[in-house]
Each structure stands twice: as C-alpha cells, then as structure tokens.
Chain A
Amino acid sequence: MKKVLSAFVLLLVGTMVYAGGYRVSLQGQRGLAMGHTGVAMINNAELAFFNPGGLIHLENKLNIAAGGFGVFSDVKFQNPEYGQSVQTDSPTGTPLYLYASYKLNERVAVGLAVYTPYGSTVEYPTDWAGSHLVNSIELSAIFIQPLASFKLLDDLSIGGGPILAIGGVNFNRNLSRSTVDIDGNRSNVEIDAQGVNAFGFSVGAMITPSDMWSFGLNYRSKIDVKVEAGDGDAVFTNVPNSPLSPIQNGTYDFTATLPLPAEWTVGASFKPTEKWTLNFDYNYAEWEAYDSLDLDFLNSDGSVALESRNARNYKNASTFRLGAQYEVSSKFALRAGTYFDESPVRDGYFAPETPRNDSFGFTGGLTFNVTDKLAIDASFLYLRFKEVDASYDYYEENGVITPFEGTYKSSAFSPGIGVSYKL
C-alpha cells in the first residue's frame, strides 16, 4: 500500500487546465470517480463541497476526507498555413482537498472545507506564435469554508457557509507579436500576485423523500478576486528604450479583476438496490461574469501607465454529469462516471491561455475500506476534447484587428488518491 501511495505522490504533478474556463472539477475522489457528481448523494465528507446541506445526514459523528490529484494535461497547437506547431510544456499542479464534518446533535452539524476549484496552468514555449496572447499562465484559488448543516425536517436539510478565497496569478506574455529590443529580445510583461483575498459563500439543500431517492441543490456565489495596487507586481522587460514604447522597462503596480463565477448544481441520487447507486448532477456556471480581462498598469503616482483590455465575453455554460457506484462487498466499492462539459468560450474568443472547447470526461475509481473507520479512495479522470479550429479575434495591433488562429487539441488525465475517515 505504501508503495502505491508513494507512486501516486510522485504522480501529483501536472497542470490544471480543464473544466470550462478555468474551473477545475477535482474536488473529491468519490465524487470524481462518479463523473464528479454528489450534490444529492450521501456518502462521505466530500459533501462539504458538493452539498453542505447534506452533512447532517452522515451517519458518523466525525467525518474526514482528504486527498489530491495529479494532473497531466497537454495542449497542442498548430497552424498548417505557416507550419507553426507547439505543444505546451506541462508544469506541475496538484489540486488538493480537505473536508471535515462534526455532528453536534441530530439536527446540527458543523464542518470545514478546503478545496481548489479554480486553476489554470498553461506553459507554451516562450515566444511561440501566440506569445502576444500568452507565454504562460498560472491561476490558482484556494477556498476555505467553515460550514454548518441543519436538519429542518426529517427529509429536508440545509447547510452552507462563508468562503474565504485566496487567489494567485502569474501571467507572462509578450507586448506584441514583433516588438523587440535592440538585441532582438521580445518585449515582455510578467504579472504576479499571490495571496489575494476575496469572500463568497455557498449554500445547499437536500431532500431525502425515501431510502431510494435523494435530491440536492447547491449554490456557490460569484467571487471577484480583485488585484489592487500593491497586491502584486508587473515587470516589463526587453522594451525598447524609446519614448515611442508604450511603457518603459521596470516594475509597476497593476489592478485587475478575475471573476470566479457563481455556480448552480441540482441533482438526484437513486439507489435501486443495496449495491447500486446512480447519480445525476447538472451544473450551471454563470460565466457571463467574465466579460473582459482588464489590466491597468500604474505609475508610481497611481496614474495609469498602460491599459490592457482583453475581451473574453464568456457565456454561461452547463455540465451534465452521470455517475454510478457498485458496492462489491463491505470492503470495496467501484465507481464510474461520465460527463459532458460545455465550454463557456464563444466562437472568436478562443484565447490560448484557456484553450477550452466542449469536452467529455470519463471517470472511474474505487474505495477500499482498510478498517471500519478508514478507507482509501482512488479515482481517475480522462478528459477528451475534440480537435478544434479556433481563433481569438479581439487582439489589436496598431489599431488593426489581428486574429490569432489555428488548430487546438487538448487532453487531460488525472489520477487521484485520498482517504476517508469516520468516527
């Protein structure tokens, strides 16, 4: 077991570039193994994420679930007209989670959830054909959420809690396709801001009309991660030493807002026999909040030195999820699932920093109950994207719209492992 575990730990490297936009749906082994469902299923402490309204239904007094994922994700880009071809250089990314709930009495449970629902790490070869849009990007957000769950009626419970989101961004791109300094180095900007705080909340409700059926609803609020002056640095390099340059070399404060969109989930869980459970979840993410990525670079006196407006114009997007669990014995449970993840990116807004198109996810996993209290959970995800010819048509050079287009193909694979503990 130890050997397997260390092997998996070694695998905890990769990148987070999937699920619509920069949403990363890797919030629990059991949920993921069933197509990342769980809004209506009473299983373990993962409910703290999927539906805090259900925590009160957990049988044990104390429930803990923790784990992580290794992400292997790649994007290929090519443009046959010019013979351009690149593949992203997968950097590391390890989404983690920790959930706990404690039943105070038959009607009230409290809990804690720590998870990473947003992230995007893409690294293209420096100065590649789309380097004026992105060389590399690393977005991350950790959500920390105290929770409470109440049983209002025998078959109705609710729950929720405030979210402290701690976000970070590191983004590198060239100023244009061709501006270079005297030695031919491309003019470049790298922005970095870590530990930016923002607040939100999530609430959920669960209806359990029978032993066979349960229904769930969960809402996670929008959170605007705002980078204010002083929160981070923007470093410009290789800018020609000239008054004609839009900005000079050096370090600048900057402001930016990145919305982490509100998300609705409704779902049902059906238990036709003792051994089988079937889940259906539907997610609706209000991506319209991500209209434009606006950056203002500031002079030391606070005035705007340079603006960067990057239209995104995302649309709200749905994800349809199916999952099944089969309890082989008291020791084992096997799971499988699938989902269809609709991209929030509209035609013509396909920016290589989040090369997203519609995708199908295929998942599987198992639980091994080591003891009555401790279980090992494992899962995997294979995410399949269709090859797509796409362009980003909102980049301007000298006032002229300059589309960036090509063929993209992405794929992602993510094994995960975790533990569930109950007392």
Chain B
Amino acid sequence: MKKYLNYIALPAIALGLVACEPEFDNDITDEGVYTSGEADFSNYVAVGNSLTAGYADQALYITGQQNSYPNIMAQQFELAGGGEFTQPLVNDNTGGILLGGQQILPNRFVLAVDAEGNPGPARLSGTPTTDITNVLTGSFNNYGVPGAKSFHLLAPGYGNVAGVQTGQANPYFVRFASSANATVIGDAVAANPTFFSLWIGNNDILGFATSGGSGVDQTGNLDPTTYGGNDITDPNVFASVYAQEVAALVSTGAKGALVNIPDVTSIPYFTTVPSQAIPLDAQTAGTLNAVFGAYNTQILPGLVQFGVITADEAALRQVTFQEGANFITIQDEDLTDISTIVQGAPFNLDPITAGLLSQLRQTTNEDLIPLPASGVLGTTDQEFFDFLVNVAGVSPEQAALQSINGVSRPLQDANVLTTSEQTLIANAQAQYNATIRALADANDLAFVDAQSELQAVAQGGVAFNGGVLTSAFVTGGAFSLDGVHPSPRGYAFTANAIIDAINEKYNATVPNVNIGNYGTVTASNDVN
C-alpha cells in the first residue's frame, strides 16, 4: 500500500500546488510590468486647491476625498513602486464643517427628487462632525486645500484657526496645518516628496467667474493682501508665487507634474442655463415689444443723436421679444448708465422706468448665465414688487408684470458673466497657463493640459466603456452637483490625463483607471 501510495500521492501533491495557483503567462502583478521610468513614486505628494482635495458637491466629504484624482493616481502608482497615500480625511460624508461646534460651511449637495418628481441638487440632511479645531497631526500626501488661490499656498497663517472668521485663514488647512504659522507649500515640502503634482490657480479666476464678475480684475496690483475673494489675481503675482512654489517642491529633488487651468466655460456652472432661457407666448411677446417699442425706436436713437451712446451700443441695447425662447434681460455694468439722462427732457421718464433702462440689454449667445440664476429666472423680484406696490403705488397686477426676473426686471450683474468679463478671465487664464507651461519646461516637469482635456469633455464628450463622459449638468457624468467640481468619474478622467502626461514625460508605464468604475452624482432623498 505504502509503496503505491507514494506513486500517487507525491505527484498528486505536486500537481495540487500547481493547480492551486494558476499562473498567467504575463502576470501584471510581477515586478517590472508597470514601471515608474525616471520618476520615483515612493512618496507622492499632491498640492493644490479643492480639485486636489477631492472636493465635490460643494463640500469636502470622505468618499469625495477617496475619489480625489491624487488618491486615484496613487493607487495606480502602487503598481509601479508607489507607496502609501494618506489624506487628511474629514470625519463623515455629510460634508459640513464646524468651528468650535458651530457649523460654518454647509453640507454637501445630493441629487434629490422634489414633490413634483423633479430631480435636482439639495443639501444632504444630518449634523456634520468635522470640527476644524480638531487638528490632525502628522505628514500627509494630499495637500489640496479647497478655496486656495495661488498665493495662499505661500501665506503663513493660512492654517491659523484665529484667522478663519476674518477670512485670513482657510478652515480646511486649519484642520491639518503643522502649526498656526505654517504654509501649505512648507508642509508639503516637509513631507519630503519623491514625486509631486501641483494644480493651483483655478481659484484665481474662478471666484470672479462664479460671482458673475462682481469682483475686480487686479491686473497691475502686485499686492495680493489687498485682493477681495472674487478678484482676478494679477498674472505677474501668479507667475511669481507659482515659480516659488515649483522651486520649493523641486528643492527636494522630486520630479513632478504641473497642471494648467481649464476654461471656466467648460464647466456646467456656466453651460447649463442657456442665455436664451425665457419662454414666451406670442401675446406676451407682443405686449412686451409694445412696452419697449418707444425705447427701441425713440430713446436709443435719441441718445445716439445726443452723443450719449454710440450707434453700436444702441444696437446692443435693443430689446425685442418673440414667440418661443427669448434672451434674458440684464443690467450690464459695462453699458452707459442712462438712468439720469432719460429722466430729463425730452424723454421725461419716471425714475422706475429710468432705473429699468439704466444699463439694460438682452443677453446674447456669448453671455454665460451662472447655474444659481436658474432659480431666479422667471420668478418675481419680491423686493421690487413690494417697492412698486407700497412705495410707488403701482397696482399689484401691474407690479407683478414689472417684477419678472430676467424679463421686465433685468438680472443683476452677479447673475451674468458677460463677454467682457469673460475676456478678463480668459486673458488672466492664458497668462497663468503660459507661466505653468514655461515652468514645466524650465524645471523639466511633466505638463498636463487640463484645459484641452476638459474642453474635450465639454465639446462632444469623451467615450468610455459604458457611455460618453460630458459636462452636461447631472446627466453628463463628469461633474458633481455644484457644477464646478468633477464627480468621481470626472476625477478618474483627470487622473488618467495626468498619468498619461507623467508616462510620456518620464517613460513610465502606469496604467489608466477604468473611469466607468467610478460613480457620477449621488442620489439621496435624505435632504432638508
């Protein structure tokens, strides 16, 4: 028995060992299948703003951080010698932020269905638990700070809790700054990166854009401490601080990737609400045309005649309506304020009508309407309605007709990003991007053209296994519910773009991720 058993048992056991471990001809977990090339991913540190932090749905929450592009990249880097990637995770998925127990930032958006069955963004209910006074200690790999502008990364005290209420400090950086006086770049360099990515500068134009251009273009002003939150950063300031940041990051010998600034016009925050957003029937359009008839045919030519406005401006200021979709009426601060003149002879308009006409025009296809305006258009301007009824003595019926936002009540500047405001943004952006490109070349770093990548998503979309990624709000898949920040799938797409640039620059072979495995917007009816 024993003799025979050996004949059977030994080969059987040997075969068993073989059988339990099927082997690929080319196993991708073998060493050397994916390589880092001339780069070293063992300690990857990401520096940037909300995009780097994984901010989405107008909040920072854990799953968003887990789907940040640096974290996605780090998981792929692991296949090519990458090490652990630690992030300063917030406490929960509600997204709200507390300061000493008081909520200072709201909860995240989720896609909720309202009573009429319409899906739309709404704030997730629940009590946030992330209090910025609970400071995380230790070194991290993700130094993405939501809200940071280029110069903030170099600002001492940007993580000082005492400065949060005054706007001198950033609540997100307070959570994990190494000290009250630390700088973001200082902490990132102290983390001793072997490889880094830097994506900063978006907020240097984005605040201006999302505020409808209500900030100031600070081009020419070299002192960023005097800037307001919605201002455009001077391109020379940007170039100076960006160069210092790159210099600090390469000082450790690290290689890295610099990411440029996409167009604000490629984000759904500006592409969702059409400028031709006012539906009218034939009768209403006729009534309105009658109301504006004298303005178009007498007042505007008259003003040209008096030399108050040019013929070009008069043409721009024509207001006409038609059956179907109509352009929105707006107050454009770049137009001549005619409110005083038209109150005088020969027009002799009342102050209310004069106020309506002061800087009035209709939008064109080139104007951008920020997403929040969708909640304003066609609604009644209650304040103006009350004024008409209670102060001016207008009948409620008449007041209602004169108080329709975007029609009889022009949208205020904050609800429109006009072409001239877009030009300011585009000019600054072009100069920032020239700086980023030049510094990438000068420091021999990978350059990521995020502008082109996001343009591809916005213009027709990018195909993936399972559909097409577009920047259409909610349905397109690329953007989260704030219309500005990517969804997990959008961040995965971003990670792939950066990985591609790194592979090309450093002869690395880090694989892309399958973006179809990442989610888009999160549905929930747990809302307030």
Which B residues lie within 8 Å of A242 (CB)? 111-113, 523-525
A-B contact count (CB 8 A): 150
B281–chain A nearest beta-carbon distance, Å: 32
B503–chain A nearest beta-carbon distance, Å: 12
Contact with B along A45-77 (1 / 0, CB 8 A): 000000000000000000000000000111110
Q: Which residue of A lies closest to B488 (CB)?
A: A178
Known contacts: A72-B16, A180-B63, A382-B15. The answer to whether A84 contacts B523 by CB under 8 A is no
Chain B residues numbered 14-29 whose CB sits less than 8 Å from any CB in chain A: 15-16, 18-29
Q: In this assembly, does A118 line the interface, its C-beta being within 8 Å of a C-beta of chain B?
A: no
B470–chain A nearest beta-carbon distance, Å: 13
Report which of B8, B27, B62, B111 forms a contact with A244, defined as CB distance below 8 A: B111
Bound together, the chains give a CA A409 to CA B19 distance in angstroms of 11
Contact with B along A276-289 (1 / 0, CB 8 A): 00000000000000
Q: Which residue of B lies closest to A184 (CB)?
A: B63
Binds B, one of A35-43, A141-149, A394-402: A394-402
Contact at A78–B24, with CB atoms within 8 Å?
Answer: yes
Q: Which residue of A lies closest to B3 (CB)?
A: A332
Which A residues lie within 8 Å of B5 (CB)? 4
B171–chain A nearest beta-carbon distance, Å: 22
Chain A residues numbered 174-191 whose CB sits less than 8 Å from any CB in chain B: 177-184
Which B residues lie within 8 Å of A81 (CB)? 511-512, 514
Known contacts: A244-B113, A380-B15, A400-B467. The answer to whether A74 contacts B22 by CB under 8 A is yes
Known contacts: A81-B511, A177-B517, A407-B24. The answer to whether A182 contacts B19 by CB under 8 A is no
Known contacts: A243-B525, A244-B111, A397-B466. The answer to whether A411 contacts B19 by CB under 8 A is yes
Report which of A84, A178, A409 forms a contact with B520, defined as CB distance below 8 A: A178
Bound together, the chains give a CA A184 to CA B94 distance in angstroms of 12
B82–chain A nearest beta-carbon distance, Å: 11
Contact at B517–A129, with CB atoms within 8 Å?
Answer: yes
Chain B residues numbered 495-519 whose CB sits less than 8 Å from any CB in chain A: 510-514, 516-519
Which B residues lie within 8 Å of A332 (CB)? 4
Bound together, the chains give a CA A385 to CA B62 distance in angstroms of 42
Contact at A402–B465, with CB atoms within 8 Å?
Answer: yes
Binds B, one of A98-106, A294-302, A363-371: A363-371
Bound together, the chains give a CA A245 to CA B112 distance in angstroms of 11
Which B residues lie within 8 Å of A82 (CB)? 511-514
A2–chain B nearest beta-carbon distance, Å: 13
A162–chain B nearest beta-carbon distance, Å: 36
Which B residues lie within 8 Å of A243 (CB)? 113, 117, 525
Which B residues lie within 8 Å of A413 (CB)? 15-16, 18-20
Contact at A74–B124, with CB atoms within 8 Å?
Answer: no
Q: Which residue of B lies closest to A77 (CB)?
A: B24
Q: Which residue of A lies closest to B492 (CB)?
A: A178
Chain B residues numbered 104-161 whose CB sits less than 8 Å from any CB in chain A: 110-113, 117, 119, 124
Bound together, the chains give a CA A85 to CA B112 distance in angstroms of 36
Report which of B23, B66, B110, B517 forms a contact with A409, defined as CB distance below 8 A: B23
Contact at A80–B124, with CB atoms within 8 Å?
Answer: no
Bound together, the chains give a CA A179 to CA B477 distance in angstroms of 12
B514–chain A nearest beta-carbon distance, Å: 5
Q: Which residue of A lies closest to B466 (CB)?
A: A402
Bound together, the chains give a CA A242 to CA B119 distance in angstroms of 10
Known contacts: A81-B511, A177-B516. The answer to whether A241 contacts B524 by CB under 8 A is yes
Which A residues lie within 8 Å of B513 (CB)? 82-83
Q: In this assembly, does A412 line the interface, its C-beta being within 8 Å of a C-beta of chain B?
A: yes
Bound together, the chains give a CA A243 to CA B15 distance in angstroms of 54
Contact at A78–B466, with CB atoms within 8 Å?
Answer: no
Which A residues lie within 8 Å of B19 (CB)? 72-74, 382-383, 411-413
Contact at A334–B4, with CB atoms within 8 Å?
Answer: yes
Known contacts: A78-B28, A241-B526, A244-B111. The answer to whether A397 contacts B516 by CB under 8 A is yes
A12–chain B nearest beta-carbon distance, Å: 13
Chain A residues numbered 72-119 whose CB sits less than 8 Å from any CB in chain B: 72-76, 78-85, 87, 90
A355–chain B nearest beta-carbon distance, Å: 10
Bound together, the chains give a CA A400 to CA B15 distance in angstroms of 43
Q: Which residue of A lies closest to B94 (CB)?
A: A182
Report which of A179, A328, A402 forms a contact with B519, defined as CB distance below 8 A: A179
Contact at B516–A182, with CB atoms within 8 Å?
Answer: no
Contact at A241–B34, with CB atoms within 8 Å?
Answer: no
Q: Which residue of A lies closest to B11 (CB)?
A: A364
Q: In this assembly, does A410 line the interface, its C-beta being within 8 Å of a C-beta of chain B?
A: yes
Q: In this assembly, does B1 line the interface, its C-beta being within 8 Å of a C-beta of chain A?
A: yes
Contact with A along B21-41 (1 / 0, CB 8 A): 111111111000110000000
Which B residues lie within 8 Å of A4 (CB)? 5
A238–chain B nearest beta-carbon distance, Å: 12
Contact at B524–A240, with CB atoms within 8 Å?
Answer: yes
B509–chain A nearest beta-carbon distance, Å: 10
Instruction: Report B's interface with A, CB cutoff 8 A.
Output: 1, 4-5, 8, 11-12, 15-16, 18-29, 33-34, 62-63, 66, 76, 79, 93, 110-113, 117, 119, 124, 465-467, 488-489, 510-514, 516-520, 522-526
Q: List 26 A-B contacts (CB under 8 A).
A: A72-B19, A74-B21, A74-B22, A78-B27, A80-B511, A82-B511, A82-B514, A129-B514, A178-B517, A183-B62, A183-B93, A184-B62, A184-B66, A184-B93, A241-B526, A242-B523, A362-B15, A365-B8, A368-B1, A380-B12, A380-B15, A380-B16, A382-B15, A398-B466, A400-B466, A403-B465
In the complex, besides A72-B20, A83-B511, A409-B22, 11 extra interface pairs with C-beta distance below 8 angstroms are: A74-B19, A78-B27, A81-B514, A85-B29, A178-B488, A178-B518, A180-B522, A184-B66, A244-B523, A368-B4, A397-B466
Instruction: Report A's interface with B, CB cutoff 8 A.
Output: 1, 4, 72-76, 78-85, 87, 90, 129, 177-184, 240-245, 328, 332, 334, 362, 364-366, 368, 378, 380, 382-383, 385, 387, 397-398, 400, 402-403, 407, 409-413, 415
The 4 closest A-B pairs by CB, nearest first: A413-B19, A184-B63, A242-B523, A83-B511
